[in-house]
Amino acid sequence: MKPESKDRLMGFSTSFGITFLAMMVVLGTVCFLSYFRLGQETAEEARPDAYLPEAKDRLVMLVAAAEEAQMAPDTYLLLGFLPDKGKIALCVLPPSTYLEYGGQGSTLGRLWQQGGLGYAQKGLAQYLGIPIDRRATVETADLEQLMAYGGLLDYDLAVDLNYTLHGRQIVMPRGKYQLDGRKAMDIISYPAYKGGERERSDRAALLISQIITHNLPAFLTDTGARLQADALSILDTDLSAADCLQRSSALQFLARLELPATTAVFLEGSLSRDYTVFHLTEDCKARIREMYCLPGEEPGEAPGGGEPAESGAPSQAGEASIPPAAGSGELPQSAAPGGSLPPIQDQPRMETPYVKFR
């Protein structure tokens, strides 16, 4: 081989070897950094102080929905923030819900008339045997303002609405809508569903679930903090900024869940003979206690919100107490149209004449 060719071959081999070695060094560095980063993330997830929701992060509220301030609420919502269960629990109750407080039978709406939402909160907590830590009144204008953060909500209305609510004529033919807060409140407040209060409760729980699911991702951004600040400033509530701050990590935890974060306890019960009082079944009350109480808590203790009734509780002159439901004094709700609507989360339902709607 000629000396020139030999030198050329040696030069090529040397250049190739150096280039190959450099490429291997770069590839090894990239692989090492990727492995190190993955290991760091895995260690961070597995470290003992990684955040997991606890029972202390729970908070149960009684929310009253009203057209305007000082008006009697049309709907009551038991809203349970239960991050240790990975859930936000919903149970919609009508004002005619029967309860016993201060040794007398009454209704949720009547307790509100006698002593405001705080009085209704104590009575309901004691009767159901659950903690109710906070309360809030949401007016239609408030809901409009808060729902604006997430934009209009796509909703498929399955029934025709045509009724008067506090002087407003509401006409909403069945079909697809983009809801703001006012339209959402109109659907929740509709008093003439064929299935009565049970159907209204089911539909309201499903709609509120959609609203929560629609807005929950906002709490992974700065929008959630602004929404919380607005809620605290416009709502009539005893919820505090400290309550929200204490549960901000738990709220983000729920917002990141891939599974639905909402679950509902659907209403089961029957009307009194004069159609003015709605009696919950024992199974329904048991499911409410199971959902909102901590495991191991004795039913009826009502920790947090269930203070003993005072003998001097407010009462209206000449008002008789409402007796508990008796077998001969109950009438079932009328049947709703056939079909079924899938629940937010599977919950047992009693076998009654009420047919689930679509």
CATH 3.40.190.10 is held by the domain 55-139+201-306+326-331? no
134 DSSP β-pair partners:
61
336 versus 16: which is more confidently predicted? 16
Say how many residues make up the chain. Answer: 358
pLDDT at 318 over 50: no
Mean pLDDT of 287-303: 73
Give the pairing type, strands 87-93 and 262-264.
parallel
Domain boundaries, the chain: 55-139+201-306+326-331
- The amino acid at residue 139 is E
Can you list the positions of beta strands (E) in the chain? 59-66, 75-82, 87-93, 98-101, 104-107, 134-139, 153-157, 161-165, 168-172, 175-179, 236-237, 262-264, 269-272, 278-280, 330-331
- pLDDT recorded at residue 275: 87
Min mean pLDDT across 11-20, 62-71, 187-196 is at 11-20
348 versus 149: which is more confidently predicted? 149
**Do residues 158 and 356 lie in contact, with contact meaning Cβ atoms separated by under 8 Å?**
no
How many angstroms separate the CA atoms of 78 and 346, rounded? 18
Mean pLDDT of 188-201: 92
| Confidence band of 28 (pLDDT split at 50, 70, 90) | low
How many angstroms separate the CA atoms of 160 and 173, rounded? 4
pLDDT tens profile 257-282? 888 899 999 999 999 999 899 999 99
| Confidence band of 212 (pLDDT split at 50, 70, 90) | very high
Residue 19, judged by CB atoms within 10 A of its CB (0-12, 13-18, 19+), counts as exposed
Q: Which two tokens stand for residue 174?
A: 């069945």
pLDDT at 34 over 90: no
Q: Which two tokens stand for residue 56?
A: 């202390």
3-class SS of residue 316? coil
- pLDDT recorded at residue 30: 52
pLDDT at 174 over 90: yes
- pLDDT recorded at residue 281: 96
pLDDT tens profile 46-98? 444 567 888 999 999 999 999 998 899 999 999 999 999 999 999 999 999 99
pLDDT cut 90: percent of the chain above it: 61
**Do residues 83 and 58 lie in contact, with contact meaning Cβ atoms separated by under 8 Å?**
yes
